[in-house]
Amino acid sequence: MRLAFGTSSGPAAQAMPSARLGALALLGTAVLVADASRLPGSLWVLALAGLWAWACGFPWRPLGTVVAAGAVTFLTFAATLATASWLGLGEANGLVQAWTMALKGTALAALAWATLRTFRPGALLRALDRLPGPLTPILTQITQQVLNLADESQRITQAWRLRGAAGRLHLGLLRAAPLVWLPRVAHRADRVAEAMELRGMPGHGLFRDSEPFGKREALLLAFALLGLTASALLRWGAR
């Protein structure tokens, strides 16, 4: 599965990056808060994920992949809970718990993936760097270095293929992989730490100039806030 950075272009993708990340955080909270053990709550979670996927211009085929991946990921857990419940070993509502977890996990994955697809890697890093908070420089560096490592891993894979590792399984190569890759990661981390020390990082906020906050951003955040409020009302308002 490819993340396909920067390929989606729905209405939400036009909003400024930090507004998109803010909306993602609010909608993620809305999904977590929603009471998916009841039908209205489940439908609400599905509606939120679907609406956000549409707003981000998330194509239907990858959305289907997310749903399938979510189902597979949570299936084992759900099946275990359901079986325990049926055998009378777990809680009586084990099946409902399993459904809730599978639905919320898949919805969160869809929200995150749909949002990430609206960013080019640089735009994502800039958005992270401009968010307030003491940990964001570290988060930015982690993201930046993960992208560099992804590039490096791709180069290693290409080199392996060129050296004859394509076509069939090479167990020796698989055994060697962590021995090649992990030291590289460790050395890179060392070198980046040296560079950060030398250049006087963290320099958080030095480039946080104002971004245009317009109607689109306001609408996006209002929609996300509304989603969170509705989730809270569906959960606690009904009692």
Partner 1 sequence: MKGPVLSFQGVTVRYEPGSAAILRALDLELAAGERVALLGLNGSGKTTLLKAAVGLLPHEGVILVCGETLGHSTLAGIRARVGFLFNQPEDQLLFPEVLDDVAFGLRRQGVPLAEARLRARAALAALGAEALAGQDVHQLSHGQKQRVALAGALATEPELLLLDEPSAALDPPGRERLAALLRGLDTGMLMATHDLAFAQACCTRMLVLEEGRLERRLL
Contact footprint for partner 1 (CB under 8 A): 120-126, 129, 140-141, 144, 147-148, 151, 188, 191-192, 194-201, 203, 206-207, 209
Which tokens sit at 116? 């990430």
Cβ distance to partner 1 smaller for residue 35 or 129: 129
Cβ distance to partner 1 smaller for residue 92 or 197: 197
Count CA atoms closer than 13 A to 86's CA, side-chain side.
8
CB of 114 to partner 1, least distance (A): 21
CB of 121 to partner 1, least distance (A): 5
CB of 139 to partner 1, least distance (A): 12
For residues 69 and 1, the answer to whether their CB atoms sit within 8 Å is: yes
3-state secondary structure at position 59: coil
Cβ distance to partner 1 smaller for residue 64 or 205: 205
Which tokens sit at 158? 């290409």
CA-closest candidate to residue 10, choices 81, 74, 60, 79? 60
Cβ distance to partner 1 smaller for residue 32 or 147: 147
DSSP code, position 119: -
Which tokens sit at 28? 């993620």
CB of 222 to partner 1, least distance (A): 28
CA-closest candidate to residue 21, choices 115, 107, 114? 115
CA-closest candidate to residue 90, choices 78, 101, 102, 100? 78
CB of 176 to partner 1, least distance (A): 23
For residues 111 and 28, the answer to whether their CB atoms sit within 8 Å is: yes
Cβ distance to partner 1 smaller for residue 42 or 118: 118
CB of 193 to partner 1, least distance (A): 9
Cβ distance to partner 1 smaller for residue 73 or 145: 145
Contacts (Cβ under 8 Å, ≥6 apart) of 89 = none
